[in-house]
Every structure is written in C-alpha cells, then in structure tokens.
C-alpha cells in the first residue's frame, strides 16, 4: 500500500499482476485469493488517503476488473469486494463508484447482474443509495433478458427492508411481470410480495400484494410454487386467505419437488436457475397446526374417502418437527377430529410407514390427549388383521410396540385395547403384542 501511495505505477503493476493471474487461472479459489490481496491493499490505502485510493481504482482498477466481471460472472463477489475495498465507506463514495462501474462496463445487462451482488455488500443503504439501486432496477425491468429482469427483482426484498414505499410504488410494473413466461421472474416476485406483506405497512395496497402471492401459489410451475410456498410461510397466521391456497399448492406439487421441500430442514433452498440469487427459504418456519387444520378441513370438504400419499407426506413432515407446547391441547383436538382419516391410512401399503411415524410423534407430543382415539384405532386393527397386507401388519405391530413403550397412560391404554381384541385379532400376528402387554 505504501509503495502504491508513493508511486501510482506500482498501483498499476499490482492490478496488472493480480488480475492477470485471475484471468489466466479461471479458478474461483485463485480469483478469491487474488481479490483478497487486492482488497487488503485497498483497505490500507483508503485508511491512508481515500481520494488517492478512489483515483487509482478508477484509473487502473476498473479497466482491469471489468473484463473479468464480464468473462467470469461467477467470480463477481470477490471482485466487487475488492472494488469496494478501494472505496470509502460512505454513500456518496459508493454512488460514485457504482456510476463509474456502469460507465466502464458499457453493458447494461452485465452491469445489472453486478449490481444485484453489490447491494448485498452494502452495510448501510442511505436514501440516495436506495434511489440509485431503484433507478437501475426499474431500467432492468424493461430489458429483454429474463435473467436480468429476475436479478433486478431480487434486489427489491432488500430495498423493502429499508424503504417499503419505494417498492410499493413499483407495484404496477411488478403486476405486469406476473405474466412473464420466465419462472425466475415469478419466483422473485413471490419473495417481493412476501417482503412487502411482512412489513404490515402496505395499507390500501395490501389486497393487491396479497393477490400477487396467491396467484403465484396457484401457478403450476413447480419452481415458482416452491418459491411462493416458502415466501408464504411467515404469513400463514396473518392472512386468512393464505392457508387454503398454501395447502392446495403444496399438495399439487410433483412428489419429488414436495419431498425436497419437506425434507430441506433449516437451510434455505437455492433453486437451480440462471438468475443471480434464487434462494427460496425454508418451510421449517411454517405453522404446523394451521397447516394441519387446513389440510383436514379441505379433505372433509372434498368428501375424500381416504387420504392420498401427498396428504400423508405433509402430515408426517408437520409432526416430525418441533411443535409448540402451547398447542398441545389443540393438537389433541385435531387428532380426535381427524382420527378416521389417520387410522385407516395404516391399512394402506403406500401410506402406513409415513402415518405410523406421524402418529408416533403425535402421541409422544399430546400424551393422554391421544387416548380417546384408541377406539377408532381398534376399528382399523380389525380391518387390517388377520387378512390385510402383510407389510401394513408389520408396520402397525412395530408401531403398537413403540406406543406401549411410551409407558404411563399409553401402557394402560394398550392393556385396555388388547382386552377388547376379538378372537380374530387374538389369533393373528398381534398375538405377540398381546403377550408382551400381558406380561409387562
């Protein structure tokens, strides 16, 4: 840094050496290391002389960095971090370097893609800086590249955190983009709608924003649905219209996509798109009781004879995660109201494994609240034994042993249950369970 300060030629040599290494290698690891070295020098130079650091970035840095940004956009983040290291941490300085980058790139689409990464490097977003990002974002919405439009929209949730009114002003433009044929555009719109609704400050625009999210939930693009479902999760307890649409969308997903969403855990999912930032969050923050109640309400309204696999997959996922102890009584009531659908699923070879897992988790959670449903469980056992599918029988026997091992009121209830077995049940494969319960 001192050498660069003493001689601008040394600064040129530094940029030439490190950017040449990045260009020759093409490896992200090399690019990150070289950019980190540049950034380290830039930070020291900024501390010594901000004006000088900015000047050598404009004169020597950007002409070397811009070709790399265009040629290897996957390396953009370390390159842009190096650029900002030569820039004072002030909004006017960031505005100046963004404008300089725009002029140097001479390519609106490449610039917008860089901009969507730059906004994530900002530690503060002043009003003037927000206005600049919105200005370029609005321009990007009219560009022919769907990838660029999606990338521009991805900035709006971040902008919304600082000034939701700026994003609300763009609603007419965003509404038009609901008809955009490219899925990434629609996926990003779901994130924007969620960000706006979570502010609770949309006022008279709330119905329009809510309608946007509902329409995206109702689409039949699995990738868009995945994004919209995760976007809707934090809002399920706030807007009455969402749970029903949410459940319908989740059930309508292809099995593989639904399984992926339900099994993702706490890590946000990144969809494999061409856009800059297609992260759709996680379902794990959903309100399981709300979803479970809506799912059963819809099943009864449709007069379903039995649950399908997609219903049971969702129920198993709902009960496998942590449940709120404050909802214990409500879950017991849900179990009581849903018992016919739940227990008959134990007699279906396609459903029994998932349902046994769900019921075991639910029993452990609600405790004695599960016991009033055991008369219905007995009815299902009579359907299954002795002539039902062998796989279902094996799963149910294992399930009943685990219920008995919960001890306490469950052990007592299992004794009462087996006392009511008729001769057909007593002579079936359940005889092992009867013996175990009797000898305990």
Domain ranges of the chain: 288-439
Taking the model in full, what pTM does it have? 0.86
Q: What's the token pair of residue 65?
A: 């960095």
For 17, the token pair is 């050496």
Quote the pLDDT of residue 282: 62
Distance CA 83, CA 38 (A): 8
| Arithmetic mean of pLDDT, 411-419 | 96
Q: Which has the minimum average pLDDT: 145-149, 327-331, 368-372?
A: 145-149
Alpha carbon separation from 265 to 121, 223, 400 (Å, rounded):
27, 18, 28
Peptide bond into 386 cis (omega under 30): yes
Show the 3-state SS of 401-412.
HHHHHCCCHHHH
353-398 pLDDT, tens per residue?
Answer: 999 999 999 999 999 999 999 999 999 999 999 999 999 999 999 9
| Ordered DSSP codes for 286-351 | S-HHHHHHHHHHHHHHTT-SS--HHHHHHHHHHHHS---GGGHHHHHHHHHHHHHHHHHGGG-TTT
> Does the pLDDT at position 39 exceed 80?
yes
Could you tell me the pLDDT band of residue 284, with boundaries at 50, 70 and 90? low
């Amino acid at each position: 840094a001192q050498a660069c300060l003493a001689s601008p030629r040394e600064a040129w040599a530094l940029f030439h050496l490190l950017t040449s290494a990045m260009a020759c290698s093409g490896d992200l690891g090399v690019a990150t290391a070289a950019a980190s070295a540049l950034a380290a020098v830039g930070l020291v130079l900024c501390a010594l002389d901000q004006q000088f650091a900015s000047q050598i970035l404009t004169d020597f840095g950007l002409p070397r960095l811009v070709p790399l940004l265009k040629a290897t956009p996957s390396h953009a983040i370390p390159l842009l971090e190096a650029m900002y290291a030569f820039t004072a941490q002030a909004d006017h300085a960031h505005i100046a370097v963004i404008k300089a980058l725009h002029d140097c790139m001479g390519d609106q689409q490449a610039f917008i893609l860089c901009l969507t990464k730059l906004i994530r490097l900002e530690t503060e977003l002043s009003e003037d800086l927000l206005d600049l990002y919105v200005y370029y974002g609005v321009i990007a919405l009219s560009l022919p590249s769907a990838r660029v439009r999606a990338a521009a929209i991805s900035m709006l949730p971040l902008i919304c955190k600082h000034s939701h009114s700026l994003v609300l002003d763009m609603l007419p433009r965003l509404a038009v983009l609901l008809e955009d044929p490219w899925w990434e555009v629609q996926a990003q719109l779901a994130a924007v709608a969620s960000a706006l609704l979570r502010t609770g400050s949309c006022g008279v625009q709330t119905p329009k924003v809510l309608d946007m999210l509902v329409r995206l939930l109702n689409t039949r693009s699995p990738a868009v649905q995945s994004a919209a479902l995760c976007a809707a999760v934090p809002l399920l307890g706030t807007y009455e219209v969402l749970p029903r649409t949410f459940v319908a969308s989740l059930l309508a997903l292809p099995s593989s996509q639904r399984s992926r969403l339900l099994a993702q855990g706490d890590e946000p999912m990144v969809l494999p798109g061409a856009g800059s930032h297609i992260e759709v969050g996680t379902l794990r923050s959903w309100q399981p009781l709300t979803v479970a109640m809506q799912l059963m309400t819809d099943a009864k309204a449709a007069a379903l004879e039995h649950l399908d696999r997609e219903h049971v997959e969702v129920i198993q996922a709902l009960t496998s995660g942590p449940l709120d102890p404050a909802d214990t009584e409500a879950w017991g009531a849900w179990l009581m109201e849903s018992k016919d659908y739940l227990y008959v699923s134990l007699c279906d070879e396609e459903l029994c494994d998932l349902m046994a897992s769900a019921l075991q988790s639910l029993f452990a959670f609600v405790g004695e609240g599960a016991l009033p449903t055991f008369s219905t469980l007995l009815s299902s056992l009579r359907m299954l034994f002795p002539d039902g599918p062998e796989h279902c029988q094996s799963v149910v026997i294992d399930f009943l042993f685990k219920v008995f091992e919960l001890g306490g009121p469950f052990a007592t209830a299992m004794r009462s249950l087996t006392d009511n077995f008729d001769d057909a049940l007593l002579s079936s494969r359940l005889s092992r369970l009867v013996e175990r319960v009797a000898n305990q």
